[in-house]
Amino acid sequence: MEEELMQIKNSAVSMIIEATDQKELEEIKLQFLGRSGKLTLTLKEIVKVPVERRAAVGQLANEVKRVIEETIKNHESRIKNQESKTKIEKIDVTNPGIKPDIGRLHPLTQVLYEVVDIFKQIGFQVADGPEIETDHYNFEVLNIHKDHPARDTQQTLYLDTRGSKSDPGKIILRTHGSNMQGRIMETTRPPVRAIYPGKVFRYEQVDVSHGFEFWQLEGLAVDKNLTLTDLFGTMSYVIKEFFGLDTKVKFVSHNFPFTEPSAETYMSCTVCKGKGCSFCKHSGWVEILGCGMIHPNVLKAVGYDSQKVSGFAWGMGFSRMVTLKYQMDDLRLLTNPDLRILEQF
């Protein structure tokens, strides 16, 4: 009996080690440990062994079973590891490919490129400037003195300059793109034609048509003999070229400290087609920009002779232009990170 048990163990271990896959290993297990397996049948014959040898034979039989089970377990683990290393993913080349996500420009960027191209066609160049600005360029050069009410209406956001060389209240987030007027005219002699798009910041109550951070596209033109009709003609051309020739435009007298005379420019609402909606406050008209002839004090502040040259300047609510272009009824959609919105453009 002992010799037969040793033969079963050696035969089983040899076969287990040579097994190459899980299925073959399972068959060996049944061959030796199943109900009709060699070891199982041999164990049933222990009752025929003399009583004095039965304990030793039983102990040997249990040891043989343990060795076979451990060998199967260890080799099974090796086979699984080997299969995971050598497993090759099967690819059906006849299946259609996975369509990759294609990136696209933000609607604000798309509109920016389009408007810049329109201005370039009529001789304007593009400039860029700092969003963190000094009080000097944001207000004082533009004829907005320290006690001017425009500082209150624009609700300026001041930067904490403690520990720096700057005086308190001198460094701000720019409230308009007009900060570039002084920077450009100080370094450029007439004639000048420039636009300068960018973000501006104000302490605003956020609603469907206002935000605390938004884009403006401002510009100026300075030359000999420029008049108010040049300004109105330029603004009307740009608006109609961008929104369509059937767009209605009107100018309303207004007051800005850096232009004289000044005007607000309105266009027919593209969201409701002039019928009235929440975006245009049910008037059918939307304010699109403020404009005017550059104030003589501003020309003087940058070293220009207001007796020899004149100019006009404007500031477009660029974020508002985007919403009107795509007939969006809420300005906040432009800063909403929901891809379901952005994928529509």
Find out whether 178 and 218 touch, Cβ atoms under 8 Å.
Answer: yes
Same domain, 147 and 291: yes
Residue 334 domain-assigned? Answer: yes
Same domain, 211 and 247: yes
Residue 92 domain-assigned? Answer: no
Same domain, 53 and 183: no
Instruction: Assign residue 190 the CATH number of its domain.
Output: 3.30.930.10
Same domain, 228 and 316: yes
Same domain, 196 and 262: yes
User: Whole-number mean pLDDT of the chain?
Assistant: 84
Same domain, 130 and 218: yes
Q: Tens digits of per-residue pLDDT, 106-144?
A: 888 889 999 999 999 999 999 999 999 998 998 889 988
Q: How many domains does the chain have?
A: 2
Sequence-distant (≥ 6) Cβ neighbours of residue 126 within 8 angstroms: 116, 119, 120, 194, 195, 196, 197
**Domain end: 53, 86, 119, which one?**
86
Find out whether 264 and 254 touch, Cβ atoms under 8 Å.
Answer: yes
Same domain, 137 and 271: yes
Same domain, 144 and 176: yes
Q: Determine the pLDDT at residue 272.
A: 82
Residue 98 domain-assigned? Answer: no
Q: Tens digits of per-residue pLDDT, 244-269?
A: 898 999 999 998 889 999 999 999 88
Two tokens at 202? 């104000």
With 60 as the cut, is the pLDDT of residue 86 above it?
A: no
Q: For the purposes of burial, counting CB atoms within 10 Å of the CB of 151, is it exposed (0-12), middle (13-18) or buried (19 or more)? A: middle
With 80 as the cut, is the pLDDT of residue 6 above it?
A: no
Sequence-distant (≥ 6) Cβ neighbours of residue 198 within 8 angstroms: 128, 129, 131, 177, 215, 216
Same domain, 145 and 261: yes
With 70 as the cut, is the pLDDT of residue 69 above it?
A: yes
What's the domain range around 236?
107-342
Q: DSSP secondary structure string, 74-115?
A: HHHHHHHHHHHHH------TTSPPPPPP-----HHHHHHHHH
CA atoms within 13 A on the CB side of 263: 16
Element (H, E) at 298: helix 296-301
Same domain, 217 and 283: yes
Q: Tens digits of per-residue pLDDT, 293-319?
A: 999 999 999 999 999 999 999 998 888
